[in-house]
């Protein structure tokens, strides 16, 4: 799958911070059962790469890496089974590294200048981050004027109540969110509750 196809699998891409690798498989199973198949595991914990590897065993899961900062992050994640990457920002070096290893990349942007740099690298699918702090739906609507070919996955500060405001925009294909897998529910092993949250997301668009 290319990035645009990944963005259209479901309205929400869960942004997951995994603290205990033992929770990786049941968490992935719960989210996939609820309809959210594209999973972003952030490189924010020591077990992130092992969690990626574990989640790739779950049927239907499309597992990628988040918080990728450089080519080394991309390669390590790919070696552990990640099939796409998400970054908080964009550099030409990161874009080249992704292309060199054929890793679909959803780079982060926050401004018009960021979008233009990403476009120069061939990236028309981008993450708007941090969305809530950077102008939210109003900013994305404004950016849609000059950047008619660019589509967005806003992430950061979004919840189930605000997701529809973003998803109603024609240039937004999906949103990223951590609310579908709250740390408290993961620690409690409330997989049914997480499946219910995932199912709720499927009705957002």
Task: Tell me which of 29, 33, 40, 125 is the catalytic residue.
Answer: 40
Contact 195, 34 (CB under 8 A): yes
Q: Look at residues 139, 133, 180, 136 and name the one whose alpha carbon lies nearest to residue 159.
A: 180
Task: Tell me which of 33, 53, 125, 127 is the catalytic residue.
Answer: 127
Terminal CA-CA length for the chain = 21
149 is catalytic: no
205 is catalytic: no
b/e per residue 32-62 (b: at least 16 CB within 10 A)? bbbbbbbbbbbbebebbbebbbbbbebeebb
Catalogue the active-site residues.
Answer: 40, 127
């Amino acid at each position: 799958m290319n990035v645009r196809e990944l963005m259209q699998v479901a309205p929400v891409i869960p942004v997951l911070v995994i603290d205990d690798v033992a929770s990786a498989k049941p968490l992935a199973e719960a989210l996939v059962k609820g309809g959210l198949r594209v999973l972003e595991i952030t490189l924010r914990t020591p077990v992130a790469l092992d969690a990626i590897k574990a989640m790739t065993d779950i049927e239907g899961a499309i597992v990628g890496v988040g918080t990728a900062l450089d080519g080394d992050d991309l390669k390590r994640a790919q070696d552990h089974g990640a099939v796409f990457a998400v970054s908080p920002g964009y550099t030409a070096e990161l874009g080249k590294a992704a292309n060199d290893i054929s890793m679909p990349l959803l780079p982060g942007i926050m401004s018009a200048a960021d979008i233009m740099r990403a476009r120069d690298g061939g990236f028309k699918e981008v993450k708007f981050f941090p969305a809530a702090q950077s102008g939210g739906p109003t900013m994305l609507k404004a950016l849609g004027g000059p950047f008619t070919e660019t589509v967005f996955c806003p992430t950061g500060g979004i919840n189930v109540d605000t997701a529809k405001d973003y998803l109603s925009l024609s240039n937004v294909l999906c949103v990223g969110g951590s609310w579908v897998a709250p740390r408290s529910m993961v620690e409690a092993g409330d997989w049914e509750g997480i499946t219910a949250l995932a199912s709720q997301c499927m009705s957002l668009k």
